[in-house]
A and B are shown apart, each in its own frame.
Chain A
Amino acid sequence: MRHEARPALLLATALLGLAAVGPLLAPYGPTEMFDMVAMRTQPPSALHPLGTDPLARDVLSRLLHGARTSIGIAALAVAVALSLGTLIGMTAALGGRVTEAVLMRLTDAALAFPRILALLLLAATLGPLPPVEFALLIGCTGWMNTARLTRQETGRLLATEHLRGARALGVPRPRLVRRHLLPALLPTLIAAGTIAFAAAIPLEAGLSFLGLGVRLPDPSWGNIITEADGRIVRHWWLVLFPTIAIVATVLSATLVAERFAGRAREDR
C-alpha cells in the first residue's frame, strides 16, 4: 500500500461515516432557529461551536446535516456518471466502427462544452430542483471521462490473449462481458469514480452557493456559505468551516483515486 493512502482512506471513511450518521450527531435541528435578536450571526461559542447564521441557526448542525446532502448528491451524481460512461464507452468499444465513431465524437463534443456553463444553463432553465434530480443533472454532465477511459481500457482488454482465449472456448458475448471483461475493468472504474466524486463535490457546492442547487432552508455545504452574505471576513465562520469540509472531502477522494489508479496500472 502506498504510504500516503492510509490517512486518506481513514479520512474518506470518516467523511462517509459523517454523511451516514452526521444528522444524529447534530446538537440541534438543521432549521431550528434560536433567538433572532440575540443569537443571529454569532461567532463560535461554547453553545454553538461553529457559530450561528443570520437566521440564528446552529452552523455545526447545518454542516452535519449538509454533509449528508452534499456527499449524497455527489455520490448519486457519480453513480449516474459512471453508469452512463461505462455504457457508452463499452458500447463504443464493442460495437462496430460507425457506432464507435459516433459515440466517441459525441463524447468529444460533450467534453468540449464547459461543464460549469452547461450546469448553470440547465439549472437556470429547469428552475429549482429537488436533490435527487439535482444529482442526476450533475451526473449527466460528468460521464465523458469515464466513457473515454472505459472505451480505451475495453479496447486494450479485447486485444488480450485471455479474451481471445474465452472467445475460442465459445463463451457467449453476454457472459464474456460479465465474467471476463467487467471485473477486469473494475479497478479503472473505481479510479474514474473517485475522480468524478472529487469533481462533483465542488460543483454541488458552487451551484448551491449560487442558489441554483440545494434550496434554502435545506442545508448544503455550498449554501451555508451563501449565508455569509458576501461578508466573508466578518462572518468568517460561515465560510471557513464549510470550506474545510469541502477541501477535506475533495482531497481524500483525490488521494484514494490516485491509489486505485496506481493499483489498476500495477494489475496490467
Chain B
Amino acid sequence: MTAPLLEVRELGVRVRVRATERILIDGITFAVARGECVGIVGASGAGKSTVASALIRLLPSAATFTPGSGVRLGGEELLALDEREMRSRRGRRLAMIFQEPLLALDPAMPVGEQLAETLLVHGLATAGEARERAIEMIERVGIGGARRAAERYPHEFSGGMRQRLVIAAALLPGPELVIADEPTTALDPTIQAQVLDLLDDLRAASGTSLILISHDLDVVAERCDRVLVMDDGRIVESGPAATIADAPTSEAGARLAMARRRLTAIPREGPNGPPDSLLRVENLSVQYRDRRRRSRGTDVTAVDSVSFSIAPGESVGLVGESGCGKTSIALAILQLVPAGGAVLFGGEDLHLLEGEVLRRQRRRLQMVPQDAGASLTPHLTAGELVTEGFEVHGIASGAEATRRARALFDEMGLPDHAFDALPPALSAGERQRVAIARALSTSPDLLVCDEPVASLDAPTRERLLALLDQLRRDRGLALLFISHDLASVQRITSRLLVMYLGRIVESGPTAAVIDTPRMPYTQALLSAVPTGDRAHRQRRIVLPGEPPSPGAPSSGCAFHPRCPHPSRDSACVTQVPPLRHFGPGHDAACLKA
C-alpha cells in the first residue's frame, strides 16, 4: 500500500485567553489516502472547524500547536514550513471551501478574474490561459453562459451558484486535498444535494482527496468512505460511514445517529369535531416593490392568491424552498406586511382591523419568527421579555406575571440564570426557546412558527417538537409550522401544504403527501432529504437549476423549467395547472401527475 496523502499525527491545538489555556484539539491522529473522501462529523463546538483551520495553518493568532503535532502532506511536513512557504502550498496543494460562500469571494472583483487569480498567484498559467481555464471551470461547475458569467460579480449569483463558484476556485489549481467545512449547511436541501453531488463528481474525476466536515451524519455518510466522529477536540470513533450510522459505539456517535432525520410518515389524527376553521386565508397575496426597478414600477409577487384554513387544534405544515413565499405568508397573517385578500381569524377579517382592536386580537395569534434571536429586544432581559406578554394583554402583572413566566421557562427547559440574562448572553438555542416562551405567554389559539427548529441541536429539537405537540393536544393550540426540514414537519403536522413560487402546489394529509407525493416538485423535495444511504443517492431526483426568482415568473406551470417529469410537454408551458383531487383532502396542481 502506498503512503497516504495526508498524515495527521498527534495534532493538538491550544488557545490562550488571558491566563487560562484551553485545549481545542487534543492530539488527534488520522490519515487520508489519495482520492479518498473522509468525513468529519460532530456537534457544534466539537473542534471540526479548528481541525480544518489547523490543516491549512490559518488558526487565529491566540492559538498554538502543541509540541509534537505533525501534519504531513505528500511527505512534506506542513508545520515546519514558514509562512511564505505555506502560502505557496495553500490553494495549490490543499484548498479550503467554507460554509458561507459570500465571505470567500471578493465582492469587488468579477468572478472570472477571481478564479483566474488562483492560477496566477501560483504561477500556474499566463494571464490569457488562466482566463480560459477559469471560464472552462465555470462551465464544469454547471453555470450556464460561462463566458458571460465570468464577467459578473459575486452578488449577482444565488447562494447555490456562489458555492459552485467557490468549488470552482478551490479545484482550479488542481489541489491534492480539498477541505470542505460545512459546504452546504447554508443552502436549501434541494440545492444542497446538487452542490454536494457536483463536488463529489469533480473530485472523483480529478482524483483529489476530500475532507468533508459536517454536523449532519447523513450528508457525510452518503458520500464518504470513512467517517471520523469528533467530540470535545478528540476523535472518539472512526470507521465506515454505514457502521457509524447504524451501530455507533461512542456516545457522540450515538447522539449524531439519533439526530438523523427520518422520513417515516406517522398517520396523525386530525382535530375531532366539526370542521370549523380557526384561521381561513382567502386569496392572500403579498407584493414587494423591487427597489432596483422602482422606476419601472414592477412589483414582485411573493405570495400569489393563496387560500387555506386551519381548524382549532390542528397542526399544518408549510414547506418549500427559500424564496417561495413561506415567510411572507406568516408575516401577512400576523398583519406585519401589507397584503391583499382576506385573513379570517375567529370570523373576523384581520386585514380590516387596526389600532387597539387589532392589538387585542394579537393575544390569540402569536408567532415564533425565523430569526428568533433577533426578535428579542437586546436591552431587556429574557424574563422581562416573557413577562411583557402577560402584562400587555392584562393577563397577569407583578409577582404573578413573574411566577408564570418562570413556569414557562421551566416548561421550555431553560436554565434558571436565563431569566435575568440579556438575549445576547444566551445561546442561539436558548434564545429560540425564549422567543417561543414569549409567544406562548399570551395563551394564543394559533402559533405561527417560522423555521422554529432550524437552529437547534437534535435533542433540543426533539424536545421542542414534543412540547409543541403536547400544547396542541392539551390546550388545543393550532400550529402553522413553516420549515424546509421535512423530517421535523412530518413529526408534528397532520396536514401539509407545499409551496412553489408563491403558490400552493400540493396539499393534503401529511402521511398521504409524504407516502404518495403527486407533484414532481414535492417528490424532488422529499428525495432531497439526506438519508445516509448511498443507494438512495443514486435514486435521488436532483432538480436542475435554482429556485426561480419570483421577480421573473414563467408561463403555465411555474415549475415546468425544472420539472423532471418524463411526460412534461407544451401544455405545462402554456396552462396554469388547477388543483386536482388525488384522495381525501389531497390536492396537487399538476397536469401530468
Q: Which residues of A contact B (CB under 8 A)?
A: 160-172, 175, 179-180, 183-184
B377 CB contact (under 8 Å) in A166, A168, A172: A166
Instruction: Tell whether, in the assembled complex, residue A170 and residue B377 are in contact, meaning their CB atoms are under 8 Å apart.
Output: no
> Does B352 belong to the interface (CB within 8 Å)?
no
Verify A162–B374 contact, CB threshold 8 A: yes
Within the assembled complex, what's the spacing in Å between the Cα atoms of A165 and B441?
A: 14
Q: Is the CB of B377 within 8 A of A180?
A: yes
Once the chains are docked, how many angstroms separate the CA of A180 from the CA of B377?
6
- Contact: B375 with A162, CB < 8 Å? yes
A164–B376 Cα gap in the complex (Å)?
9
Distance of A179 Cα from B336 Cα, bound (Å): 20
Residue of B nearest to A161 (CB): B374
B contact residues around A169 at 8 Å (CB): 362, 366, 388-389, 392, 438-439, 442
A170 partner, pick from B362, B369, B375, beta carbons under 8 A: B362
CB of A172 within 8 A of CB of B359, answer: yes
Closest 6 CB pairs of A and B: A165-B375, A170-B362, A161-B374, A162-B377, A161-B375, A183-B379
Further pairs besides A160-B374, A162-B374: 7, Cβ < 8 Å: A161-B374, A167-B336, A168-B334, A168-B366, A169-B439, A172-B359, A179-B380
A184, B423: Cα distance in complex, Å: 14
User: A162 and B366: CB pair below 8 A?
Assistant: no
Query: B residues within 8 A CB of A180?
Result: 377, 380
29 A-B residue contacts at CB 8 Å? A161-B375, A162-B375, A162-B376, A163-B377, A164-B336, A165-B376, A165-B435, A166-B377, A168-B362, A168-B366, A168-B369, A169-B362, A169-B366, A169-B388, A169-B392, A169-B442, A170-B362, A170-B363, A170-B389, A171-B388, A172-B356, A172-B392, A175-B392, A179-B377, A179-B380, A180-B377, A180-B380, A184-B377, A184-B379
Distance in Å: Cβ of A166 to nearest Cβ of chain B: 6
Q: Which residues of B contact A168 (CB under 8 A)?
A: 334, 336, 362, 366-367, 369, 375
What CA separation (Å) do A172 and B389 show in the bound complex? 11
Q: Is B360 an interface residue (CB 8 A)?
A: yes
A180 to B375, CA, bound (A): 11
Q: How far is the CB of B338 from chain A (nearest CB, A)?
A: 14
Beta-carbon contacts of B314-350 to A below 8 Å, as 1s and 0s?
0000000000000000000010100000000000000
Q: Are B392 and A171 in contact (CB under 8 A)?
A: yes
The complex places the Cα of A126 from the Cα of B438 at a distance, in Å, of 56
Residue of A nearest to B360 (CB): A170
Q: Which of B334, B363, B377, B380 has the most CB of A within 10 A?
A: B377
| B299 beta carbon closer than 8 Å to chain A | no
Query: What's the least CB distance linking B26 to chain A, in Å?
Result: 34
Q: Which residues of A contact B375 (CB under 8 A)?
A: 161-162, 164-165, 168
B360 touches A165 (CB 8 A): no
In the assembled complex, the CB of B217 is this many whole angstroms from the nearest CB of chain A, namely: 32
Interface residues on B, range: 20 to 34
Q: Are A170 and B392 in contact (CB under 8 A)?
A: yes
CB pair A170 B334 closer than 8 Å: no
Interface residues of chain B, those whose CB is within 8 Å of chain A, are 334, 336, 356, 359-360, 362-363, 366-367, 369, 371, 374-380, 388-389, 392-393, 435, 438-439, 442
Indicate if the CB atoms of B362 and A164 lie closer than 8 Å: no
CB distance from A268 to the nearest CB of B (A): 10
Q: B392: which A residues are within 8 A, CB to CB?
A: 169-172, 175
Nearest neighbor of A184 in chain B, beta-carbon distance: B379
Interfacial chain B residues near A172, Cβ < 8 Å: 356, 359, 392
B404 to nearest A CB, angstroms? 15
Residue ID in chain A nearest B358 by CB atoms: A170
Which residues of chain A are within 8 angstroms of B360 by Cβ–Cβ distance?
A: 170
In Å, the complex CA distance between A175 and B359 comes to 13
Contact B379 A164 (CB under 8 A): no
List, in ascending order, chain B residues with CB within 8 A of A170's CB: 359-360, 362-363, 389, 392-393, 442
Question: A165 is contacted by which of B377, B379, B393 (Cβ under 8 Å)?
Answer: B377
Are A161 and B388 in contact, CB atoms less than 8 angstroms apart? no
In angstroms, Cα B360 to Cα A145, docked, is 38
A172 to B336, CA, bound (A): 15
Minimum C-beta distance from A244 to chain B (A): 40
Q: How far is the CA of A163 from the CA of B379 in the complex (A)?
A: 12
Interchain CA distance A164-B335 in the complex, whole Å? 11
State A179–B379 Cα separation when bound (angstroms). Answer: 9
Which residues of chain B are near A164, meaning CB under 8 Å? 336, 369, 375
Cα A218 to Cα B109 in complex, Å, equals 65
Q: Please report the C-alpha to C-alpha distance between residue A168 and residue B388 in the assembled complex, in whole angstroms.
A: 12
Q: Give every chain A residue within 8 A of B379 (Cβ-Cβ).
A: 183-184
Distance between Cα atoms of A161 and B330 in the complex (Å): 14
Please determine whether A161 and B369 come into contact, CB atoms closer than 8 angstroms.
yes
Complex Cα distance A183/B388, Å?
16
- Nearest-Cβ distance from residue A186 to partner chain B, whole angstroms: 9
By a CB distance below 8 angstroms, the chain B residues around A166 are: 377, 388
Question: Which residues from chain B contact A160 at a C-beta distance below 8 Å?
Answer: 374
Give the most central of B363, B392, B442: most A CB within 10 Å.
B392
Q: Which residue of B lies closest to A167 (CB)?
A: B336
Instruction: Tell me the bound Cα distance from A180 to B435 in angstroms.
Output: 16
How far, in whole Å, are A167 and B360 apart by their CA atoms in the complex? 11
